[in-house]
Amino acid sequence: MSDNNVLKYQIISIRGALDLAASDLGRIMAEKPDAKPSFFVANSARLLTVLTRAELRMSDLSATVNASVIVGDDNEIRDRVALARFEVISARSGAIDLADKGPSLGDYTRYIAQAVDRATHLLHGIDLTLGVVDVYSMPDARSA
């Protein structure tokens, strides 16, 4: 697979993971506060799994961007990837102790949802149309 396709695949796969996280968060926020604790525990655990996957993929995406020359607006893509990675890291740290939040779970869930939303928005801003993002492999740069 060319670097161009690797980048696209990684971005699409992270978007997928973030969509799953958003749907888990939506389910948690829609549930009544007096729902059984097991509901929150199960959904928080699932959310954490999804966000952990997203964070690992974001780290791979950063490595791809770092080791490639992007023809076009290089800084724009780096900025978006960096900011999206920060949001995903924040969302995942938030999800780690979501299950213990008790009454403040609502605000906390909203905070994670906003981070997921911002990351999704940043990644959607990267145009994947052929020719706009053009990545050339730089094997030597990978060891940097």
Partner 1 sequence: MTSDGRAMVASLAKAKDLLFTINDDLSTKDSDAVLWSAEMSLALIRDAVKQGQFIVAHYDNGEEARSVALSSILRAMDLCRVARKKLFWWERQKVVQQISIEIARAQEVMRRVDFYLIPHPDR
**Binding-site size, partner 1 (CB under 8 A):** 12
DSSP state, residue 132: T
The interface region with partner 1, picked from 14-22, 42-50, 87-95, 128-136 by CB under 8 A, is 87-95
DSSP state, residue 103: G
- Is 66 a binder of partner 1 (CB under 8 A)? yes
Element (H, E) at 141: none
Which CB, 78 or 124, lies closer to partner 1? Answer: 78
Rounded CA separation 111/99 (Å) = 14
Q: Contacting partner 1 (CB under 8 A), which of 90, 112, 123, 135?
A: 90
Structure tokens at 91: 């969302």
Q: Contacting partner 1 (CB under 8 A), which of 2, 5, 23, 93?
A: 93
Amino acid at 1: M
Rounded CA separation 85/10 (Å) = 13
Point out which residues bind partner 1 (CB under 8 A).
62-63, 66, 78-79, 82-83, 85-86, 89-90, 93
